[in-house]
Structure 1
């Protein structure tokens, strides 16, 4: 990533408390999105999600930041009304930051040798099924361990 991009990340974290990076789908896998700066600004884990369009991904990351900078994040528990704008259940799973080495370059650069935590937002398909359920229809890349 060019230094100009890293400067923008630092600028957005200083101004808004976090930065959002979105990477388009390619032959190597689905699109993905992640935050940088939430752990430093609000002491909440950075969030990663995959397989959703850019505008929805940005909205979900922003909603996550807004909700959990003032509330306790519960992992491995379904949340039925996570966002006012999107009425579908989600849950968060913990992700070891090392498992994101091929994804969160901006966060790696931003934090350097500092420690930070990460979670992945897990969402259902249009039929309400989650990735660990038979018949799940989406191409969501799972980095952490799914709940049973």
Structure 2
């Protein structure tokens, strides 16, 4: 086990979850968006893990932390509805991520859970005009910065 894996286990034990952030290095010409995801929410609270794209790691951690704090307090999130609790004045949508997409992004969660199945939802946020990546008129750059791992319908 390496230092990173030990830190994941320590954080899950102490806080009930861990946040992993993956972002482009400055020397990389890759246009892949940054993303952050949780590890341990399912283990600690029997709630889904979350992934969010295109945000600063600190902001993404704060958003996932709001979810974790609700779970720790015994509250639920209605994953079928917009949530206004995560970003002030903007609705977020939860999109269930198909299992075959886990291998593209959530390596630490796959390591942590080993053979155990766990649910993963993407937290999708709108742009400043209130458009989600699947809306007509949503800029291509926004859609690339926040890829939706499974197409959702806006309600």
CA contact (8 A) 2:133 2:147 kept: no
| Aligned equivalents of 1:74, 1:23: Cα separation in 2 | 27
CA contact (8 A) 2:42 2:49 kept: yes
Count matched residues. Answer: 145
TM-score by length of 1: 0.89
* Range moving further from structure 2, 94-103 or 32-41: 94-103
1:51 paired residue among 23, 41, 54: 54
| Aligned equivalents of 1:144, 1:65: Cα separation in 2 | 23
Structure 2: runs of 5+ lacking an equivalent: none
Show the counterpart of 2:120: 118
TM-score by length of 2: 0.85
**1:65-80 matches, cutoff 5 A:** 65-69=68-72, 70-79=74-83
Structure 1: runs of 5+ lacking an equivalent: none
| CA-CA distance at 1:132 after TM superposition | 1.1
| CA-CA distance at 1:144 after TM superposition | 2.2
- Aligned structure 1 segments of 4 or more residues deviating by more than 6 angstroms: none
Show the counterpart of 2:147: 141
| CA-CA distance at 1:28 after TM superposition | 5.3
Q: Which has the higher helix share?
A: 2
